[in-house]
Structure 1
Amino acid sequence: MRDTASPFEFDGPIPLDRMIDRRQETDMIKTWTREGRLVALVAPRRYGKTSLIRKIAADGKQDGLVVVTADLFEVASLSDLVLRLERAWTQHTPDALRAAASKILATARTGVSITGAGFAVALADRPTADPVPALHTLLELPAQLAQREGGRILIVLDEFKSVAGVAGAEELICQHVWRHRDAVSYLFSGGMPNMLSSMSHDGEPISGRRVETLRLDRLPTAELHEVIKERFATQGRDVTSVLDRLVTMGEGHPQRTMLLAHLLWLEVRTGARATSDHLEAAATAALRQIDPEARATMSGLTVGQRKVLRAVAEYGTPMAARALRTLGLPKTTAQKATPHLVAAGLIEDTDQGWRVIDPLLARWIRTNYGTRA
């Protein structure tokens, strides 16, 4: 019987003691936070943004830094934004600050609370209530707490790009962010490099020199080799003969590499040596696992975008002559579709050329729709 107690986490944020690398990124963000900089944390999905934020929050408890993280994914309205920020303070306000925060919110009389009934109840009583006063109250809260209690507070606005779809939200947030930067630091997290492009202060964009941008890269090969080999060895498994191929297959993608390592672990018995057959079985299992997601991704694209994605997966460029000819892809369509796929976090142009960001999606495309021998 195979031992299924895999040491490879791939589903959700990584436990802090299992994070691979990211020491430099953590130190940079903490330094910028202490200096009161605005920080944009940019990375594709499953690159470990949430895990890194959790690491900074955990370190902050020892360094005297309060970290409040709000998940803004698909935020729909100003009222929804109020509820997301209220929930963030409810979940992340440290015990030492809860009494002070509750008093500040109660004094404002806008229906916001981090204990018991909150803004949702206020909306139930008055569905047409204006959410702007409540939003101002929550955006003022970190500065008031910092002034009253001392210390710096870091506000993390995760999946910030969603805010662009809510009229007036970016302007309100920017007013408070810019006014409070001496006492409060802000980290905007998301998958799009231009997520702050529409935010401005006094008519000037806050991006560029006003924001420090940190892009999470793929994990380094040497670190992955060391960690995977060490974890396989914990129960006498030997992965040496396929380790290079495993790491190459994962292309440094944090979540996908851990998923492949986990599936390979399930194939190899305790005390046994991993073989090429084991690795191929793990790769096949990975493609089965991502199949629903891959089909949903393809279905959400236009015909031209799907063809460009296939061209990059198979030919390494959206403009390869053979890809254009084989896939019936007009060059003008490829030129229009490519920026959309970049913005959607599906492909990227690197120093080594174009590639699909998700290596398993690329492998799935080649397996199911390959046009090359």
Structure 2
Amino acid sequence: MRDTASPFEFDGPVPPDCMINRRSEADVIREWTRESQLMTLVAPRRFGKTSLIRKIASEGEKTGLMVVTADLFEVASLSDLVLRLERAWAQHTPEELRPAAGKILGSAQAGVSISGGGFALAMADRPDTDPEPALHALLELPARLAQHRPGRILIVLDEFQSVAGVPGAQALIWRHAWQERHAVSHLFAGGGPGMLSAAPDDEGRPVEQARTLRLGRLPSAELRTVIKDRFAAANRDVSGVIDGLVAVGEGHPQRTMLLAHLLWLEVSAGERATADDLDAAIAVALRQVDAEARATMSGLTAGQRKVLRAVAEYGTPMAARASRTLGLPKTTAQKAAPHLVATGLIEDTDEGWRVVDPLLARWIRTNYGTRA
């Protein structure tokens, strides 16, 4: 019977008590926070940045660490940035600090409030409202609020790479973060190392002083153990296919959990998973990513598509056979590869090139494969 809910979370941030590994990464961020470091957390999409941040926030409640997280994905303007920050403070400010936060924001007379709707109302009344005073008020709030509590405050700006599209915003945020680093810690999270590219690098504030933590793939041994144990707890045996499942997932957190979930749907209680069950789960996974994969390919130039296919099939954009089969000149590969790296589609590791998303790579080989 398949009447037991799947224990594999794959369609959103993972609850803190369900996270696999990441203990050392959480410890590093907590240590850097105590040391007043400015931090960047870098990882491709679906590698668990948000889950890790939520875990730190959840555990911080027990140690006196206050975490305020703002989601800046596709932030469009300074006004939009103000709305995101105001919403974050409304959501994450503890009850005992809300009166103080409200008083601080009220004294700024910039239209923002701890309720999270102040600036939207201000813009509704006056569409030409200048967002800069409100932005300064929100960026100054953590340092002023730190005077009202004994513990540390950590400001997390998630998907910070989106801020690069708002002129002047990165530099302004960095300046406040640098000036307030002894009272408040800042963590800039996103998908690329160039998140602070527009920040100022003069007056003794080099962006290189920000410590960078990169989330890697999850270790195969721990994935095997966790997946086998979760199946076994519901009287399901995956010992015969666990190595294959982990190999297909390539340590990618979300993709591995998706495959485990789909395999769960193929195996009833009291049964042992077979190679056919795993093949069926992989086939369903490829159907699920089909629309996303086609959109990804459509959004690339012809040269970028060829490089992505070359890495998926041949493990390198410079393979001689890829050059012949795909019509991929070396100069085109050299131009296109950096863009694919910057957008998190491929990576150049110590073990060589590979597509970040193992299901995208398999989808490419399945639909456009040129190797026998």
Q: For this structure pair, what is the TM-score category when the shorter chain's length is used for normalisation?
A: over 0.9
Match of 2:111 in 1: 111
Match of 2:251 in 1: 252
Q: Is the 8 A contact 1:42 1:216 kept in 2?
A: yes
Match of 1:331 in 2: 330
In the superposition, relative to structure 1, how do residues 159 and 243 fare at CA in structure 2: closer, same or farther (>3 Å)?
same
Following superposition, the deviation at residue 353 of structure 1 comes to 0.8
Q: Is the 8 A contact 2:201 2:207 kept in 1?
A: no
Q: Is the 8 A contact 1:197 1:205 kept in 2?
A: no
Residue type at the aligned position of 1:206: P
Task: Report the TM-score, using the length of structure 1 for normalisation.
Answer: 0.98
Identity percentage over the alignment? 73
Task: Return the alpha-carbon distance in structure 1 between the equivalents of residues 76 and 115 of structure 2.
Answer: 24
User: What is the aligned residue count?
Assistant: 372
Following superposition, the deviation at residue 117 of structure 1 comes to 3.8
Following superposition, the deviation at residue 98 of structure 1 comes to 0.7
Task: Return the alpha-carbon distance in structure 2 between the equivalents of residues 149 and 48 of structure 1.
Answer: 30
Task: Return the alpha-carbon distance in structure 2 between the equivalents of residues 158 and 111 of structure 1.
Answer: 24
Task: Return the alpha-carbon distance in structure 1 between the equivalents of residues 265 and 4 of structure 2.
Answer: 6
Match of 1:219 in 2: 218
Write the mapping of 1:91-110 to structure 2, written as runs, cut at 5 A. Answer: 91-110=91-110
Task: Return the alpha-carbon distance in structure 1 between the equivalents of residues 2 and 186 of structure 2.
Answer: 46
Q: Is the 8 A contact 1:198 1:205 kept in 2?
A: no
Q: Is the 8 A contact 1:76 1:165 kept in 2?
A: yes
Q: Is the 8 A contact 1:153 1:184 kept in 2?
A: yes
In the superposition, relative to structure 1, how do residues 201 and 333 fare at CA in structure 2: closer, same or farther (>3 Å)?
closer
Residue type at the aligned position of 1:142: P
SS of equivalent residue, structure 2 residue 353? strand
Task: Return the alpha-carbon distance in structure 2 between the equivalents of residues 181 and 234 of structure 1.
Answer: 46
Unmatched runs of 5 consecutive residues or more in structure 2: none
In the superposition, relative to structure 1, how do residues 105 and 169 fare at CA in structure 2: closer, same or farther (>3 Å)?
same
Match of 2:265 in 1: 266
Residue type at the aligned position of 1:358: D
Following superposition, the deviation at residue 51 of structure 1 comes to 0.3
Following superposition, the deviation at residue 4 of structure 1 comes to 5.4
Following superposition, the deviation at residue 108 of structure 1 comes to 1.0
Unmatched runs of 5 consecutive residues or more in structure 1: none
Q: Is 1:87 paired with 2:87? A: yes
CA-based RMSD: 1.1
Does 274-283 or 143-152 show the bigger shift? 143-152
- Residue-by-residue CA offset, 1:127-160 (whole Å, 9 max, x unaligned): 1111100000000000000023332210000111
- Residue-by-residue CA offset, 1:266-317 (whole Å, 9 max, x unaligned): 0011100000000000000000011111111111101110010000000000
Task: Return the alpha-carbon distance in structure 1 between the equivalents of residues 288 and 71 of structure 2.
Answer: 26
Does 199-208 or 301-310 show the bigger shift? 199-208
Task: Return the alpha-carbon distance in structure 2 between the equivalents of residues 321 and 327 of structure 1.
Answer: 10
Following superposition, the deviation at residue 116 of structure 1 comes to 6.4
Task: Return the alpha-carbon distance in structure 1 between the equivalents of residues 182 and 345 of structure 2.
Answer: 37
